[in-house]
Amino acid sequence: MSAGGVVSLSRRSISNTLRQPQMWVPSMAFPLIFTALNTGAMGRATRLPGFPAESFLDFAVATAVVQGVLFGATAGGSDMAVDIQDGFFDRLVSSPVSRPTIVLARLAGAAVLGAVQSLVFMAILTAFGAQVRGGAPAVLTIVAVAMLLAMAIGGLSVAIALKTGSSEVVQAAFPVFFISLFTSSAFFPRELMSGWFKTVASVNPLSFMIESVRALIIGGFHVGDAMRALAIVAALAGVSLLLSLRALRSRLAAG
């Protein structure tokens, strides 16, 4: 497969997303709105014994990044479904572009957008007083995590797009991502949860990923946290890449 093919197709996928503000504006706006709301409503929760951060805003930075990437990365999948519906996908398949490139370009596009999102969130929230205590190494790690997470979510939605060929179904998968985020420790620390909810959050892999990212922000840079965060998202991205390539193969075999 040619690197040029990936670059030009991922550029198309990025510009496609940017040209549809309804695809990315909510994924930028909603995490910020949630952060503002929750900081106002739950700022005092930091006084509860066991709360891991001194400021709720610091606590919420990781939430915003992960939430934004989750919202944004579904766009690639629903674009892919639109391509399938429009027949553009068939044109790509019949062109000399190697087939996995079609999928990889989408994921590369999602990764670039994820990186941009994470930087924008960190910049805006820092301007409002949040602190990333881990400094530059933490920021770099978080950007890498965001890229891998974008590929993981993007890969899943691309796999759904390839399987169903319907952008509605891809959009409908979005609440599933949202629910898995909400049943993790994304919005509130696991230390303060109790009962069955704590059990669910404790088996949700997103919890561990978010907690490691959060540790880089509220604690400082530790190689162990960084490795853990990267390992979890890399594993998720690997699985979802496999799924999307398999979905591609079965669509091509069927078509």
Partner 1 sequence: MNSLGIALSLAGRNLLLMRRIPSVVVPSLVFPIFVVIAFSGAYSALTRLPGFPVDKMIDWILPMAVVQSSAFGGVNVGLSLVRDLQGGFFDRLLLAPVSRASLVAGPILGAVVRAFVPLAVVLATGLAAGARPRGGPAGLLMLLVAAEGVAVIAAGWGVGLALRLRDQRAAPLMQVGIFLTVFLSTAQVPLAVMSGWLRTVATLNPMTSILALGRQGFIGPVSWAQTWPGLVALAGGIAVLGTFAVRGLAVAEQ
Binding site for partner 1 (CB under 8 A): 22, 26, 33, 36-45, 47-48, 175, 179, 182-183, 187-188, 192-197, 200-201
Considering only CA atoms, which of 64, 73, 143 is closest in space to residue 108? 73
Least distance from partner 1 to the Cβ atom of residue 169, Å:
12
Considering beta carbons, is residue 18 or 33 the nearer one to partner 1?
Answer: 33
Least distance from partner 1 to the Cβ atom of residue 151, Å:
26
Least distance from partner 1 to the Cβ atom of residue 37, Å:
5
Least distance from partner 1 to the Cβ atom of residue 197, Å:
3
Considering beta carbons, is residue 10 or 74 the nearer one to partner 1?
Answer: 74
Least distance from partner 1 to the Cβ atom of residue 92, Å:
28
Considering beta carbons, is residue 153 or 201 the nearer one to partner 1?
Answer: 201
CB atoms within 10 A of CB 27: 20
Return the percent helix, strand and coil in the chain, to nearest 5.
85, 0, 15
Considering beta carbons, is residue 1 or 25 the nearer one to partner 1?
Answer: 25
Considering beta carbons, is residue 94 or 194 the nearer one to partner 1?
Answer: 194
8 A C-beta contact, residue 191 and residue 165: no
CB atoms within 10 A of CB 36: 15
Residue 124, class by beta-carbon neighbours within 10 Å (0-12 exposed, 13-18 middle, 19+ buried)? middle
Q: Which two tokens stand for residue 195?
A: 């009962």
